[in-house]
Amino acid sequence: MNPHAPRRRQPQGVRERFAALRNVPPFLRLVWLTSPGLTLALVALRLARALMPVTALWIAKLIIDEVVRLTALPGAPETLDAWRASGELAPVLWLIAAEFALAIASDVANRLVRLCDSLLQERLVIDLSTRMMDHAATLDLADFEDSGFQDRLDRARRQTMGRIPLLSQVMTQAQDLVTVLSFGAGLMLYNPWLVVLLIVALVPAFLGEAHFNAELYRMNWRRTPETRERDYLRMIAASADTAKEVKLFGLAPFLRDRYIALSRRFLAENREIQKRQTGWLGLLTAIGTAGYYIAYLWIVVRTLTGALTIGDLTFLSGSFLRLRALIEGLLTGFSTTTSQAMYLDDLFDFLAARPRLPLPANPVPVPQPIRRGFRFEGVGFRYPGSDRWAVRHLSFEIRAGETLALVGENGAGKTTIVKLLTRLYDPDEGRITLDGTDLRDFDPDALRAQIGVIFQDFVRYSMTAGDNIAVGRIEAREDAGRVARAARAGMAEGVIAKLPEGYGQMIGKRFWHGVELSGGEWQKIAIARAYMRDSQVLILDEPTAALDARAEVEVFDRFNELSAGRTAVLISHRFSSVRMADRIVVLADGRVEDEGTHEALAARPGRYRELFELQAAGYR
Question: What is the Cα–Cα distance from 311 to 65, expressed in whole angstroms?
Answer: 5
Whether 518 contacts 481, CB under 8 Å: no
Length of the chain (residues):
620
Helix axes 36-71, 24-34, angle to 10 degrees: 100
Q: Give me the pLDDT at residue 2, please.
A: 42
8-state DSSP, 398: E
Phi, psi dihedral angles at 585 (to 5 degrees): -110, 125
Classify burial at 98, counting beta carbons within 10 Å of its beta carbon; exposed 0-12, middle 13-18, buried 19 or more: middle
Q: Which of 95-99, 241-245, 275-279 has the lowest mean pLDDT?
A: 241-245
Per CATH, the number for 18-352 is 1.20.1560.10
433 vs 451: CA distance, rounded Å: 15
Interatomic CA distance for residues 481 and 51, integer angstroms: 64
Show contacts of 291-297: CB within 8 Å, 24+ apart: 291/197, 291/198, 291/200, 291/201, 291/202, 292/198, 292/201, 292/320, 292/321, 292/324, 294/197, 295/194, 295/197, 295/198, 295/320, 296/320
Q: What pLDDT was estimated at residue 16?
A: 62
Domain boundaries of the chain, sorted by first residue: 18-352, 362-450+537-620, 459-534
Check pLDDT > 70 for residue 461: yes
Helix (H, G, I), strand (E, B) or coil at 190: helix
**Which residues pair with residue 375 across a beta bridge?**
397, 433
pLDDT, residue 4, reads 40
pLDDT digits (tens, 9 = 90+) for 67-109: 878 777 777 777 777 777 777 778 888 888 998 999 999 999 9
C-beta of residue 208 within 8 angstroms of C-beta of residue 335: no
411: left (phi over 0), alpha (psi -120 to 50) or beta: left
Residue predicted with more confidence, 151 or 448: 448
Query: Do 369 and 537 meet the contact criterion of CB atoms below 8 Å apart?
Result: no
pTM: 0.66
Please report which helix (H) or strand (E) contains residue 213, including its range.
Answer: helix 192-222
Amino acid occupying residue 453? V
Q: What is the pLDDT of residues 374-395, one digit of tens each?
A: 999 999 999 988 889 999 999 9
C-alpha to C-alpha distances, 282 to 11, 29, 230, 286, 410, nearest whole angstrom: 26, 37, 33, 6, 63
pLDDT of residue 125: 82
Count Cβ atoms within 10 A of the Cβ of residue 306 and give its class: 0-12 exposed, 13-18 middle, 19 or more buried. exposed
Query: Would you state the pLDDT for residue 611?
Result: 81
The CATH T-level fold of domain 362-450+537-620 is: Rossmann fold (3.40.50)
Provide the 3-class DSSP secondary structure of residue 524.
helix
Please report the pLDDT score of residue 90 as a whole number: 82
Residue 12: per-residue pLDDT: 46
